[in-house]
């Protein structure tokens, strides 16, 4: 069996997906999720037949997770011929527009972008190095979360800073690009007439993207994955004066401010209950309710911003953990958009149907499952196929 391995490495978890390649078509045949790295690491595996979970050694990191999954793949699929591995790499900097087959020089260039995404890129690179150590001849492909947004017009990328900062790469990049690219690739099947689309990727990390005729034209995330919507633990848009105040008046160090904005804010910070939307929706605490309301309010405001950037809206799509699963949050965002021409079908929304706008709604509204791993597999195949010929 020929196959492709997809790896999506984060700070405390790594997701894996194995795709079989038959007759030029990719089909998923195993998913694995290593979680709790750094605390209580466990590996969950799921194939078409069974689900299993096992403890990893307490000190297991991304490298250990990669090795554990390779061991399992060798046991489970002894005849597997891996053609390549595709990785999600969060930040590709200003010049990475498309997926790249990695070599030493490109890896060094990527190490430089770790400065731009210190919480993500180093983990992505750890997984790449771990795999290279075990399988030095395996082609590895980097797929960037920023790449889909490189089509944005210059105005959408610029900050109101002196020009030399833009020249040094201080621009709005946007993230979750693999998710948006996947949704943009499947939406025409459902809404072929929709030209101006906003996709709300609402998960632990959350952002929104304006997509005009299939291309990203603006997004809520900016230079880092901290901007825009309020998230599980990240604050989202914040007056930069708050950061100055914290440093100058409250004496916080850069590391303390970073920890506050990335780890202790968002749903967790506002609620004081937790960062997990399910937990907040189930909680009676007024602080949890307020955090949920703020999440929806911020999303409605960001939506207005993106609609203004496109000059209108034909379709709104919800995706990712919260977007795909929570009727309450979808209603909190899209239930009061009559002014925009969007009438939500509350029954369809409660049932979690794909189309959740009412029959006469001028703007259509959708719940679509995203598939970042599938997108990485497609890109990886497109790059390595010529190598195999
Ligand atoms: P993701 O980062 O895409 O895996 O999404 C994780 C987020 O989705 C967490 O905040 C979860 O609480 C949330 N989530 C998953 N399922 C549900 C659900 N049924 N209702 C509300 N939130 C959910």
Q: Is residue 140 in some structural domain? A: yes
- The domain total for the chain is 2
Centre of ligand 1 from the C-alpha of residue 94, in Å: 31
Q: Which domain holds residue 112?
A: 2-144
* Assigned token pair, 73: 């793949």
Residue minimizing CA distance to atom 8 of ligand 1: 321
C-alpha of 82 from chain center: 25
Which residues are identified as catalytic?
Answer: 145
Calpha distance 223→120 (Å, rounded): 13
Predicted pLDDT at 386: 60
Domain termination site, one of 126, 144, 162 = 144
> Best substitution site from 322, 330, 331 to test ligand 1's pocket, by max atoms within 8 Å of Cβ?
322
- Residue 266, number of CB atoms within 10 A of its CB: 26
* 353 CA to centre of ligand 1 in angstroms: 17
Q: 137 with 202, same domain? A: no
Q: Are residues 231 and 314 in the same domain?
A: yes
For the ranges 117-121, 161-165, 292-296, which has the lowest average pLDDT? 117-121
Q: Is 278 in the pocket of ligand 1 (CB under 6 A)?
A: yes
Nearest CA, atom 19, ligand 1:
325
Mutating to test ligand 1, I would choose from 321, 324, 331 the residue with most ligand atoms within 8 A of its C-beta, which is 321
Give the least confident one: 77-81, 193-197, 326-330: 77-81
Could you tell me which of 349, 203, 335 has the C-alpha nearest to residue 278?
203
Read off the CATH number of the domain in which 333 is found. Answer: 3.30.420.40
Please tell me whether residues 139 and 196 are part of one structural domain: no
Residues 83 and 22: beta-carbon distance below 8 Å: no
Short-list 224, 225, 202, 217, CA closest to 299: 202
Is the distance from the beta carbon of residue 326 to the nearest atom of ligand 1 less than 6 Å? yes
Residue 167 lies in a domain: no
276 lines ligand 1 (CB under 6 A): yes
Q: Is the CB of 327 under 6 A from ligand 1?
A: no
pLDDT of residue 389: 46
221 — pLDDT class (breaks 50, 70, 90): very high
Lowest mean pLDDT among 27-36, 101-110, 166-175, 199-208: 101-110
Residues 140 and 199 in one domain: no
Say yes or no: 197 and 129 in one domain.
Answer: no
């Amino acid at each position: 069996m020929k196959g492709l391995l997809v790896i999506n490495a984060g700070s405390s978890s790594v997701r894996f997906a194995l795709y079989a390649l038959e007759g030029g078509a990719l089909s998923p045949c195993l998913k694995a999720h290593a979680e709790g790295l750094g605390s209580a690491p466990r590996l969950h595996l799921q194939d078409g037949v069974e689900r299993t979970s096992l403890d990893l050694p307490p000190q297991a990191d991304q490298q250990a997770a990669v090795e554990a999954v390779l061991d399992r793949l060798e046991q489970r699929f002894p005849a597997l011929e891996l053609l390549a591995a595709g990785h999600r790499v969060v930040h590709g900097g200003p010049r990475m527009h498309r997926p790249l087959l990695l070599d030493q020089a490109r890896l060094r260039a990527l190490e430089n972008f770790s400065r731009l995404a210190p919480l993500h890129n180093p983990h992505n690179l750890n997984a790449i190095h771990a795999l290279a150590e075990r399988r030095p001849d395996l082609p590895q492909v980097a797929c960037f979360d920023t790449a889909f947004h490189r089509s944005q017009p210059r105005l959408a990328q610029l900050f109101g800073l002196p020009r030399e900062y833009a020249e040094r790469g201080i621009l709005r990049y946007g993230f979750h690009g693999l998710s948006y690219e996947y949704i943009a690739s499947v939406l025409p099947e459902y809404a072929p007439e929709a030209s101006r689309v906003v996709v709300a990727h609402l998960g632990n990390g959350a952002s929104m993207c304006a997509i005009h005729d299939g291309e990203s034209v603006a997004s809520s995330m900016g230079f880092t994955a901290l901007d825009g919507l309020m998230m599980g633990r990240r604050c989202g848009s914040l007056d930069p004066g708050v950061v100055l105040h914290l440093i100058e008046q409250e004496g916080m160090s850069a590391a303390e401010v970073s920890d506050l904005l990335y780890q202790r804010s968002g749903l967790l910070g506002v609620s004081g209950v937790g960062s997990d939307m399910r937990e907040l929706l189930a909680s009676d605490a007024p602080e949890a309710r307020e955090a949920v309301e703020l999440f929806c309010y911020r999303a409605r405001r960001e939506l207005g911003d993106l609609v203004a950037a496109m000059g209108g809206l034909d379709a709104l799509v919800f995706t990712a953990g919260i977007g795909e699963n929570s009727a309450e949050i979808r209603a909190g965002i899209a239930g009061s958009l009559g002014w925009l021409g969007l009438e939500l079908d509350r029954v369809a929304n409660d049932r979690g149907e794909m189309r959740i706008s009412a029959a006469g709604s001028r703007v259509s509204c959708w719940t679509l499952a995203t598939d970042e791993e599938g997108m990485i597999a497609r890109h990886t195949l497109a790059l390595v196929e010529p190598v195999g010929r």
